Amino acid sequence: MWYSPLLLMGRTQQLSRWLLSKASVIWRKLRSLFPASHYVLLALIYVVGLELLFALQRWVFLVVIAVITVVTIGVVLVSYEEKGRFSLSNILLPILATIGLTGFAFFLPTSIVLHLYIATAGFVLFFLLKHGARKAYPIWNWLISLLIFFLNIAFVTGLRFHLYTPIIAILFAIFLISALISWQSLRRIASGSEIVVPVLMMAFALTEIAWTLQFMPSHYLLQAGILTSIYYIMFNLVGVSLKRKPLKQDIYEYLSVGLVGIIILLITARWV
């Protein structure tokens, strides 16, 4: 009987150690399932910000500032995760994604479609912060960059379509968007000095095509789709040429995919 309190204490300590070990195992499993919980939090904050943007339109500028602040926090967190290996090319896509996702939302009807879009935008931002902004995941970057390119171009051409924004401002914005997205994507393949000329040529060509499309009685989504298809062709061919000599098979493959996309757009297009 004299040893029962000691035995009880020992068993209590064993039980506590066992519970702590089990809790540690569960925590490690949860972290493996959700290794980027702060990215989830940032995406949720961004979703709430977009909802407030349309719920409190009187305070639209304050909400926009809040959204930009969220992106800045996200960039800082990604920089911390990368342990300092975070350059300008990693910062550009989150900023352009926020502009494109937010701007395109203004052209959507205020219905369930808008709320579904906002939820999807948060999902896209999460994957961008987790994978697309990191140099170690070039495929994710290129896929998300294509989507962000379309949304930004659609936002810019939509401003021209709905608000009759001056053509010079539209062309300058398209040139800037094309150059920045192309540059940050090609940085996954080659150094900055090697890609300067290809990036400027791509941006100039896309701007010329965008200027030509302004004379067509076409919807802004059609213009954005055509420019995105051409961007897809040019980016992939330039990317291949930076890694190795392009083959005929490469040219046929990317041209066929891009042209099929353009043909589908022209057939199903809304003309004005």
Residue at 247 is within a domain:
yes
Residue at 221 is within a domain:
yes
Residues 111 and 126 in one domain: yes
Tokens (6 digits) for 119: 């939820």
Residues 164 and 121 in one domain: no
Residue of 258, 234, 133 whose CA lies nearest to 188: 133
Residues 96 and 160 in one domain: no
188 class by beta-carbon count within 10 Å (0-12 exposed, 13-18 middle, 19+ buried): middle
Residues 142 and 271 in one domain: yes
Residue at 22 is within a domain:
no
As a whole number of angstroms, the distance between CA 10 and CA 178 comes to 68
Residue at 243 is within a domain:
yes
As a whole number of angstroms, the distance between CA 103 and CA 165 comes to 15
Residue ending a domain, choose from 136, 171, 198:
136
Question: Which pLDDT value is given to residue 171?
Answer: 96
Residues 176 and 69 in one domain: no
Residue type, 7: L
Residues 157 and 99 in one domain: no
Question: Which pLDDT value is given to residue 191?
Answer: 80
Residues 44 and 122 in one domain: yes
Structural domain harbouring 94: 34-136
Question: Which pLDDT value is given to residue 163?
Answer: 87
Residues 83 and 183 in one domain: no
Residue at 25 is within a domain:
no
Low-confidence ranges of the chain (pLDDT < 70): 1-16, 18-19, 22-38, 75-88, 271-272
Question: Nearest-5° angle of CA 7, CA 8, CA 13?
Answer: 95
CB under 8 Å to 103, separation ≥6 — which residues?
151, 152, 155, 158
Residue ending a domain, choose from 109, 136, 163:
136
Residue ending a domain, choose from 111, 136, 161:
136
Residues 182 and 62 in one domain: no
Question: Which pLDDT value is given to residue 34?
Answer: 47
H/E/C letters for each residue in 16-46? HHHHHHHHHHHHHHHHHHCCCHHHHHHHHHH
Longest dimension (CA), the chain: 98
Question: Which pLDDT value is given to residue 227?
Answer: 97
Residue at 3 is within a domain:
no
Please state the domain count of the chain. Answer: 2
Alpha helices in 214-247 (DSSP H): 220-243
Buried b (16+ CB within 10 A) or exposed e, 192-223: eeebeebbeebbeebbeebeebeeeebbbbbb
Contact 140, 132 (CB under 8 A): yes
Residue at 11 is within a domain:
no
Residues 130 and 162 in one domain: no
Residues 269 and 148 in one domain: yes
Measured between its terminal Cα atoms, the distance across the chain in Å is 94
Residue at 15 is within a domain:
no
Residues 118 and 80 in one domain: yes
